[in-house]
């Protein structure tokens, strides 16, 4: 086995570890939502190839107001769904669309576009 072959095998191992770490094991940035003057937990989310921010921490039993702005025309992201809260909204390009609901259960709940290409997570904590 030549040195080059050994190098390629080792690179393969390193790449595998890197991919697994980066996509699965590395801690993700989380956004804790502040409570606004109106008493609602407000957060603005940009939709462009993904949701920014995509991991959102809120408190249970308090109204959550998510304002989405879609900045792309790709039809993939034209809808955002919160299947666990039976909430969904159409996001016309460039328009601010607000979804408001009160999470009455705690836990981690995914939100996503209709076909699941873009994903985010809503973490509801006990208040």
Partner 1 sequence: MKVHDPVCGMEIEPQSAFAKREHMGQTFYFCSQSCVDQFDKDPHRYVMTSATTGFNPKMTLARIELPVSGLPLKEHSTRLESALRALDGVSEVKVNATANRLEVQYDAQKVDVAKLVGAVKSIGFQVGGTSVKIGIENLRCASCVKFIEDELKSTQGVLAATVNIATQEATVDYLPQKTTLSQLNAAIETWGYKPRPATSDAPVDKQEEAHANEYRKLMNKFWFAAAISVFVMVTAYYQFVPFLRDLNMDSLRLLWGVTALLTLPVMFWSGSDFFTGAWAAFKHRSANMNTLIALGTGAAWLYSTFAILFPSVFPEGTSEPFYDVVAVVIALVVLGQALELRAKGQSSSAIKKLLGLQAKTARVIRDGKEMDLPVEEVLVGDVIQVRPGEKVPVDGVIVEGSSAVDESMLTGESMPASKKMGDEVIGATINKTGAFKFRTTKVGKDTALAQIVKMVQDAQNSKAPIARLADIVSGYFVPVVMILAVWTFVIWFVIGPQPQFVYALVTSVTVLIIACPCALGLATPMSLMVGIGKGAENGILIRSGEALQTARAIQIVVLDKTGTITKGKPELTDTVTSEQSSVDSDQLLRLAASVEKVSEHPLAQAIVEGAQARKLELAEVKDFEAIPGHGVSAKVEGKNILIGNLKLMNREKIVLGSLEEKSKSLADDGKTPMFIALDGRAAGIIAVADTVKEDSAEAILALQNMGIEVVMITGDNRRTAEAIARKVGVTRVLAEVLPEDKANEVKKLQIENRKSKIQNVVAMVGDGINDAPALAQADVGLAIGTGTDVAIEASDITLIKGSLKGVVTAIEVSRATMNNIYQNLVGAFFYNVLGIPVAMGLLFPFFGLLLSPMIAGAAMAFSSVTVVANANRLRGFKPKFSAK
Can you give the binding site for partner 1, defined by CB under 8 A? 1, 5, 8-9, 11-12, 15-16, 19-20, 22-24, 26, 28, 48-52, 54, 72-75, 78-79, 81, 83, 86, 88, 90, 92-93, 95, 110, 112, 114-119
* In the complex, least distance from residue 74 CB atom to partner 1, rounded to whole angstroms: 5
* In the complex, least distance from residue 43 CB atom to partner 1, rounded to whole angstroms: 16
Q: Which is nearer to partner 1, 40 or 89 (CB)?
A: 89
Determine how β-strand 64-70 pairs with β-strand 96-101: antiparallel
Q: Which is nearer to partner 1, 59 or 88 (CB)?
A: 88
Q: Which is nearer to partner 1, 29 or 34 (CB)?
A: 29
What backbone torsions phi and psi does residue 54 show, to the nearest 5 degrees? -115, -15
CB neighbours of 29 closer than 8 A, spacing ≥ 6? 53, 55
For 32-82, give the secondary structure using H, E and C: ECCECCCCCEEEEEEECCCEECCEEEEECCCCEEEEEEECCCCHHHCEEEE
* In the complex, least distance from residue 71 CB atom to partner 1, rounded to whole angstroms: 10
By the 10 Å C-beta count (0-12 exposed, 13-18 middle, 19+ buried), 9 is classed as exposed
* In the complex, least distance from residue 107 CB atom to partner 1, rounded to whole angstroms: 14
Q: Which is nearer to partner 1, 51 or 58 (CB)?
A: 51
Structure tokens at 97: 């669309």
């Amino acid at each position: 086995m030549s040195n080059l072959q050994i190098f390629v095998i080792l690179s393969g191992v390193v790449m595998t570890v890197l991919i697994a770490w980066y996509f699965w094991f590395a801690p993700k940035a989380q956004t804790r939502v502040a409570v606004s003057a109106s008493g609602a937990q407000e957060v603005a989310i940009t939709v462009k190839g993904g949701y920014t921010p995509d991991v959102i921490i809120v408190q249970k039993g308090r109204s959550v107001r998510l304002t989405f702005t879609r900045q792309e025309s790709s039809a993939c992201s034209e809808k955002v769904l919160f299947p666990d809260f039976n909430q969904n909204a159409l996001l016309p390009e460039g328009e601010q669309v607000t979804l408001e609901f009160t999470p009455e259960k705690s836990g981690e709940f995914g939100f996503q576009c209709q076909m699941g290409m873009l994903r985010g997570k809503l973490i509801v904590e006990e208040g």
